[in-house]
C-alpha cells in the first residue's frame, strides 16, 4: 500500500504541477500587459486560493459525482457516456489535479506577476526597436529575468504537491471512510500516513512513512533545484547577449534621433 500511495502521489503531482505552472505563467503575462481594471483581475485570480480546501473539495466532489455531477452532464451533451470519476484510477487523479489547479494557479500567477513587473521596461522597448516580437521578448527577456522567482514557484509547488491531503481525503467519503477510494486508487502518501496513525493506531509505521515522505520531498526538491539552476546557468550567456543587443539597439536609436535633431537644428540656423 505504501508504494501504491507513492505512485498515486507522483501521478497527481505531475498532473497538477505542470499545467498549474504553465497556466500561471500565461495568466501572469496577460496581467502584466496592462489590462483595464488590473486590481479587479488580480483579485479575481486570487479568489480560489482564499476559499478553504474543504469547500473546494466538496464543490468538486459534487461536480465529479458519477450519478448526476456537472462533469458527466456536460459530457452527455456532446455524446460521451458517463465516466467513473471516483472509481477509475486515471480519471480520479485528473479530477483531483483539477481541484489542486483551481486553488493554486492564481496564487502562483500573482507571484510571477510581481516578478514580471520588476523587469525594467526599457529592455522591452529596446528589444522592440530591434525588431523583436512579443514571443521573442517573452522568452529572451521575461523568462531569464524572472527565473529565480520561477525556480521558487517550482520548488514550492513540488513541496505542496507531494503533501496533498485534503483533496483526496474529501473527494469521495462515501466509501472506505475517505481513505482514498474503495481500492485506494487515489490514496496519497499523506493520506496513507493518516490512515496508519488515526485508523489503525499504528504510530510506528506512520512515523516511518513520515520520514520516508520527508526524504522523498527533499530529494525531489534538490533535483528540481539542480536542474533549474543548470538550465539557468546554461541560458545566462544567451540572456546577457540578448540584453546587450537590446541595449545596443536602444542606444543606436537614441543616437540616430539625436543626430536627426541636430541636423534639423543646423539646417534651420543656416536658413
Check whether 239 has a pLDDT greater than 70. no
Does residue 247 carry a pLDDT above 80? Answer: no
Task: Please give the DSSP secondary-structure letter assigned to residue 142.
Answer: I
What does the DSSP 8-state code read for residue 131?
Answer: T
Cβ(44)–Cβ(231) below 8 Å: no
Closest CA to 163 of 207, 217, 200, 211: 217
Mean pLDDT for the stretch of residues 147-157: 88
Asked if the model's pLDDT at residue 2 lies above 70, the reply is: yes
Give the mean model confidence (pLDDT) for residues 97-126: 91
* Contact in structure between 186 and 165 (CB atoms under 8 Å): no
What is the tens place of the pLDDT at every residue in 21-55?
999 999 999 998 877 878 888 888 889 988 888 88
Predicted confidence band at 257 (pLDDT cuts at 50, 70, 90)? very low
Q: Are 49 and 107 spatial neighbours (Cβ–Cβ below 8 Å)?
A: yes
- Name the grid cell of 186: 487515489
Homologous superfamily of domain range 2-270? MetI-like (1.10.3720.10)
Mean pLDDT of 126-151: 87
What does the alpha-carbon distance between residue 178 and residue 182 come to, in Å, rounded to a whole number?
Answer: 9
Chain centre to alpha carbon of residue 17: 6
Residue ranges with strand state E in the chain: none
The pLDDT score that the predictor gives to residue 123 is 86
> Where does residue 80 rank: exposed (0-12), middle (13-18), buried (19+ CB within 10 A)?
exposed
pLDDT recorded at residue 181 = 79
- The helix (H) or strand (E) run that includes residue 238 is helix 203-270
DSSP 176-215: GGGSSSTT-TT--HHHHHHIIIIIS--HHHHHHHHHHHHH
111-125, 193-207, 210-224, 225-239: least confidently modelled range: 225-239
Grid cell at residue 225: 533545484
Model confidence at 241, pLDDT cuts 50, 70, 90, reads low
Domain boundaries, the chain: 2-270
Half-sphere exposure for 188 (CA within 13 Å, toward CB)? 24
Mean pLDDT, range 174-198, rounded to an integer: 83
Q: Within 13 Å and on the Cβ side, how many CA atoms surround 215?
A: 6
Asked if residue 155 lies in contact with residue 41, where contact means CB atoms within 8 angstroms, the answer is: no
Amino acid at each position: 500500500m505504501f508504494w501504491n500511495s507513492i505512485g498515486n502521489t507522483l501521478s497527481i503531482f505531475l498532473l497538477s504541477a505542470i499545467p498549474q505552472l504553465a497556466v500561471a505563467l500565461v495568466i501572469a503575462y496577460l496581467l502584466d500587459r496592462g489590462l483595464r481594471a488590473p486590481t479587479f483581475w488580480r483579485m479575481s485570480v486570487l479568489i480560489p486560493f482564499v476559499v478553504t480546501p474543504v469547500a473546494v473539495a466538496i464543490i468538486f466532489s459534487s461536480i465529479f459525482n458519477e450519478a448526476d455531477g456537472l462533469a458527466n452532464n456536460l459530457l452527455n451533451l456532446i455524446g460521451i457516456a458517463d465516466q467513473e470519476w471516483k472509481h477509475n484510477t486515471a480519471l480520479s487523479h485528473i479530477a483531483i489535479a483539477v481541484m489542486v489547479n483551481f486553488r493554486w494557479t492564481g496564487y502562483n500567477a500573482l507571484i510571477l506577476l510581481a516578478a514580471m513587473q520588476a523587469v525594467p521596461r526599457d529592455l522591452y522597448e529596446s528589444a522592440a526597436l530591434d525588431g523583436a516580437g512579443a514571443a521573442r521578448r517573452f522568452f529572451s527577456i521575461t523568462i531569464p529575468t524572472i527565473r529565480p522567482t520561477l525556480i521558487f514557484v517550482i520548488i514550492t509547488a513540488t513541496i505542496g504537491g507531494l503533501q496533498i491531503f485534503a483533496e483526496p481525503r474529501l473527494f469521495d467519503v462515501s466509501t472506505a471512510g475517505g481513505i482514498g477510494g474503495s481500492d485506494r486508487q487515489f490514496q496519497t502518501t499523506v493520506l496513507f500516513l493518516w490512515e496508519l496513525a488515526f485508523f489503525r493506531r499504528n504510530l510506528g509505521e506512520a512515523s516511518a512513512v513520515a520520514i520516508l515522505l520527508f526524504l522523498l520531498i527533499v530529494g525531489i526538491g534538490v533535483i528540481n533545484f539542480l536542474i533549474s539552476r543548470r538550465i539557468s546557468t546554461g541560458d545566462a550567456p544567451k540572456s546577457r547577449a540578448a540584453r546587450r543587443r537590446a541595449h545596443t539597439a536602444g542606444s543606436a536609436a537614441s543616437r540616430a534621433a539625436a543626430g536627426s535633431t541636430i541636423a534639423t537644428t543646423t539646417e534651420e540656423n543656416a536658413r
